[in-house]
Structure 1
Amino acid sequence: MQGFTREPGVRGPLEAVPTAGKRKILRWAATIAIGGFLFGYDTGVVSGALLFITRDFGLTAAQQGSIVSVLLIGAMVGALSAGRVADRLGRRRTLALEGAVFVVGTLVAVSADGYGMLLLARVVLGLAVGGASATVPVYLSEIAPAEIRGRILSANQLMITVGILVSYLVDLAFSGSGDWRAMFAVGLIPGAALTIGTLFLVPESPVWLIRNHRSGEVRELIASVTGEQRADQLIAKFRRTREERQRTSGDGEPQRQGWRALTARSVRPALIVGVTLAVIQQFGGINTIIYYAPTIIQNTGLTASNSIFYSVFIGLINLVMTLVSIRLVDRLGRRKLLLGSLLGMLVTVGLLGLSFVVALPSALSLVFMILYIAAYAAGVGPVFWVLVGEVFPPSARAVGSSASTTVNWLSNFVVSQAFLPLAGAIGQGQTFWLFGVVCLLGLGFVARFVPETKGRDYGAVDADLQSRFGHGPKPEAIRQRG
């Protein structure tokens, strides 16, 4: 696996940016976050399109599952290769390339004449989705001043939820005609926008410019948001910090580079937390709802068009609750949101399963589904992406986040591939109950092993994390350090 070789522990040289500069950075972030929108759109649009693709191509349950899940295989490959490409070409050109791949994959999907060609299109789209999932957060973190980093990093998750909602609305708009090709074709617009926007509207990452010794360009970029006088001071400070952190790791031992950093004993607790949360986020059942919402609702007795219509509410509540989470994550903290989210998911997915087992009215199934999405979007959904950027030590932050993301995509693939066959074998309601078991286990894991990171520097976070794994003083002894 190949991750970003961003300077360990150094997010970016920008800090204390005036208001006018922050507005400019937010505009850049909005353009880059189109990659997150495409992530959401191309993973969500298949939910409604699948109803009509199955009709036109006569797909089996296994083929339906593969049309959904093969995108995730491409996404794993795209995420793993994005780091090498972005280090070589730069973040901006890599994002433009990913936008072009989105366009190519969409064109192949629109012109597909059978199952095989559509499968190929989904692989190509997956490469772009995975690449964007890895590149967008890195770029955003490297341009974000500390004082607005939370909002900027949350923009990616927000745009993912917007993309999912828009995909549902597009599916609804074309459900009357059953034109699944048009559903895919709409994705050409944001794909082209990402390519054009990143090439002409945003600068290269200042971190990448410094690493590649392009001092004149990075000074011009930083001066454009901080002013001439402040630019030289920030560049000098950034270089000093980078050099110091390259010499040693957080515990004073020689720093391990690249993927070898994850083998250090002190890094294992963070790796366990990152990877386990990645598994919990997916095995809690979220993407069975996102991908198969119309199919699930149709099984309650509603028509295809009505199923797509009601799935729009799922996308809307996903968006609204993500906005709520963005406002709360720096107020309540990560642990409270995670625990409350998992508890809500446990209760609602259990009720959703019950609604299918005892054949409750379809309206109740829809209510339970919406409440489940609300619980997920308020915590587990966005907080996972926040924590993987906070629990790893400086020497392993980039590769640790990459490893967690890869496991997230792999878990996503397994669940989406297995859902329809498993539901057919043991029942749809019983399958949802299995997701409830995962939520219950997740509650125990978060309560025992996940530290609070709100308002803490890395030293305090690591002390808490190590103590939870029995490697240091109890959390009470280090609480004041946060």
Structure 2
Amino acid sequence: MTGSQVTPRSDRAASPPDTQPLNGRLRLIATVATFGGLLFGYDTGVINGALPSLVTDLRLTPLLEGLVASILPFGAAWGAAFGGRFADRFGRRRVLTVLAVLFVAATLGCALAPSVGVLVAFRAVLGLAVGASSVIVPVFLAELAPAHLRGRVVAQNELMIVGGQALAFVFNAGLATAFGHVPHVWRYMLVLATVPALVLWVGMTVVPESPRWLARRGRLDEMVRVLQRIRQHAYTADEAEGVRELAAQDADRPAAGVLDLVRVPWIRGIFGIGAAMAVINQISGINAIQYYGVTVLQDSGFGGNGAFYANIIPGFVGVAAVALAMVLLKHVGRRPLLLTGLAGTITSLTAFALCYLLIPEDSAARPWAVLACIVVFVGFEQCCVGTVTWLYMSEIFPLSVRGVGMGACAWLLWMMTFVVGLTFPLLTDALGVGYTVLIFVALQLVALVWVHRVAPETKDRTLEELEQHFRGA
């Protein structure tokens, strides 16, 4: 590629590129791509309200209840493991389009399942799509966004995830109220996910490929055209040249594999950080609340459809918390947010456990105290822990192993989700909710110490600068 191909556009704005706001084209692209996140949220959240109907209709034991809830993250672990590889080989855009088709097909399979075995099978397939999108969408957004907007753009995916969960809670409550007396109401809850899946499928026709992926494949002219389209007046030669140089460094390297994450010392250090972030994301117990929130609220004392409506409150708090995170990420570093979030979740879950253990079961205050603790917990977790851990994992890996690195970390995250989802009903049956929650508190205390001592700061550093930093560490 000649020098003239990366010269700055003469009509760009006078303000420096690192102060440019999010333009309309990049906003549209991010919105379309994050419908994968909305599907992620809806498909993980919908089981929360569907479980009471499923338990009754399909006569689920605690083990089968845990299996139905957790098989999706089990499939997601493998979707995450291979999704990054497929995205590295075939491109982020093309794989996301295929995933949209898979979302539609698997959702219909779940809604029409004649037995628990078929439901579990299609939930596993749906998990493959959820897991692959959980890897590809954040990486895709991180590669599209300029450094000063990367936190805000990647956090939009988390906003869509919690928005999907909130929608699931609202639709669950509405359907439980309208059709709670009708057998198999869970089918109506599940099938609604086909709508955002179709939007993702159609929307991907207008989304460009990642410029960094194009550069690594040697398609430099296309890379420049994409950067010019998505940066508009903020396009500069420096960014294009930086992407091109790193792609040239990677040109002679073979396709990355899992062993590459541990073979080179500086990459092994990055993988250790990413893996720890994946574990931290789950040991808060957030997905136990997302999967079993209605069941927990019913057990705490909410009767009738009260638990369904009470469960909506944490859903909307999660949306507000991620929206707040999108603002805070512009001004606050990743480390302070993580430390604040962990302190908040530890405190709120401790209070949650004490409510279960100390407040009498027949007390009218008990369900409201439990709900208040869940609301505070969800606020801290979604604003400061969940958003930041996904952002960390999407931005710390170098280009040569970004897909496989993100895939490996997401595999670990989803396997942790599977373990939490499968064992939560069994643990609460054996120990009770209060003592089970104290286990999560103990794990988060360990996470707080680790973040304080080890986690690096990545705010306002380009992906290329981060790679150079870790190489020299």
Q: Please indicate the TM-score interval, normalised by the length of the shorter structure.
A: 0.7 to 0.9
Q: Decide which moves more: 423-432 or 351-360.
A: 351-360
1:105 maps to 2:106: yes
Partner in structure 2 of residue 162 of structure 1 = 163
Partner in structure 1 of residue 327 of structure 2 = 327
- SS of match in other structure, 2:457: coil
1:408 maps to 2:413: yes
Partner in structure 1 of residue 387 of structure 2 = 382
CA–CA separation in structure 2 for the residues paired with 1:201 and 1:157: 22
CA–CA separation in structure 2 for the residues paired with 1:464 and 1:87: 23
The size of the alignment, in residue pairs, is 447
CA–CA separation in structure 2 for the residues paired with 1:464 and 1:205: 23
Match for 1:451 among 451, 456, 462? 456
Match for 2:187 among 158, 172, 181? 181
Partner in structure 2 of residue 475 of structure 1 = none
Cα deviation, residue 443, structure 1:
1.1
Partner in structure 1 of residue 11 of structure 2 = none
CA–CA separation in structure 2 for the residues paired with 1:233 and 1:438: 44
Cα deviation, residue 462, structure 1:
8.3
Partner in structure 2 of residue 478 of structure 1 = none
- SS of match in other structure, 1:338: helix
Cα deviation, residue 225, structure 1:
4.1
Cα deviation, residue 306, structure 1:
1.0
Native 8 Å contact 2:85 2:404 kept in 1: no
Native 8 Å contact 1:219 1:232 kept in 2: no
Native 8 Å contact 1:18 1:225 kept in 2: no
Partner in structure 1 of residue 6 of structure 2 = none
- Cα gap change, 1:399/1:295 in structure 2, threshold over 3 Å: closer, same or farther? same
Cα deviation, residue 49, structure 1:
0.6
Cα deviation, residue 90, structure 1:
2.6
Partner in structure 1 of residue 374 of structure 2 = 369
- Cα gap change, 1:256/1:265 in structure 2, threshold over 3 Å: closer, same or farther? farther
- AA aligned opposite 2:451: V
CA–CA separation in structure 1 for the residues paired with 2:464 and 2:246: 16
- Cα gap change, 1:64/1:337 in structure 2, threshold over 3 Å: closer, same or farther? same
Partner in structure 2 of residue 239 of structure 1 = 244
Q: TM-score, structure 1 length as denominator?
A: 0.85
Partner in structure 2 of residue 11 of structure 1 = none
Partner in structure 1 of residue 426 of structure 2 = 421
CA–CA separation in structure 1 for the residues paired with 2:214 and 2:254: 23
Taking every aligned residue pair, what percent have the same amino acid on both sides?
32
- SS of match in other structure, 2:114: coil
Cα deviation, residue 215, structure 1:
5.0
Cα deviation, residue 397, structure 1:
4.0
Native 8 Å contact 1:334 1:454 kept in 2: yes
Partner in structure 2 of residue 124 of structure 1 = 125
Native 8 Å contact 2:212 2:247 kept in 1: no
1:286-335: CA deviation from partner (whole Å, max 9, x where unpaired): 11111110000000122351111000001011111111122112322111
CA–CA separation in structure 2 for the residues paired with 1:459 and 1:221: 18
CA–CA separation in structure 2 for the residues paired with 1:31 and 1:337: 27
- SS of match in other structure, 1:299: helix
Partner in structure 2 of residue 92 of structure 1 = 93
Native 8 Å contact 2:70 2:421 kept in 1: yes
1:30-49 equivalences under 5 Å are 30-49=31-50
CA–CA separation in structure 2 for the residues paired with 1:206 and 1:455: 20
Match for 1:190 among 185, 191, 196? 196
CA–CA separation in structure 1 for the residues paired with 2:158 and 2:447: 21
- Cα gap change, 1:185/1:227 in structure 2, threshold over 3 Å: closer, same or farther? closer
- AA aligned opposite 1:194: L
CA–CA separation in structure 1 for the residues paired with 2:292 and 2:162: 16
- SS of match in other structure, 1:330: coil
- SS of match in other structure, 1:388: helix
Partner in structure 2 of residue 133 of structure 1 = 134
Partner in structure 2 of residue 271 of structure 1 = 271
Cα deviation, residue 270, structure 1:
2.5
Cα deviation, residue 378, structure 1:
2.0
- SS of match in other structure, 2:23: helix
Provide structure 2 residue ranges, at least 5 long, that are not aligned to the other structure. 1-15, 361-365
- AA aligned opposite 1:430: Y
Q: TM-score, structure 2 length as denominator?
A: 0.87
Cα deviation, residue 148, structure 1:
2.0
- AA aligned opposite 2:439: L
Native 8 Å contact 1:104 1:124 kept in 2: no
Cα deviation, residue 16, structure 1:
3.9
- AA aligned opposite 2:169: Y
CA–CA separation in structure 2 for the residues paired with 1:102 and 1:155: 20
- AA aligned opposite 2:404: V
- Cα gap change, 1:242/1:334 in structure 2, threshold over 3 Å: closer, same or farther? same
Cα deviation, residue 195, structure 1:
0.8
Partner in structure 2 of residue 259 of structure 1 = 258
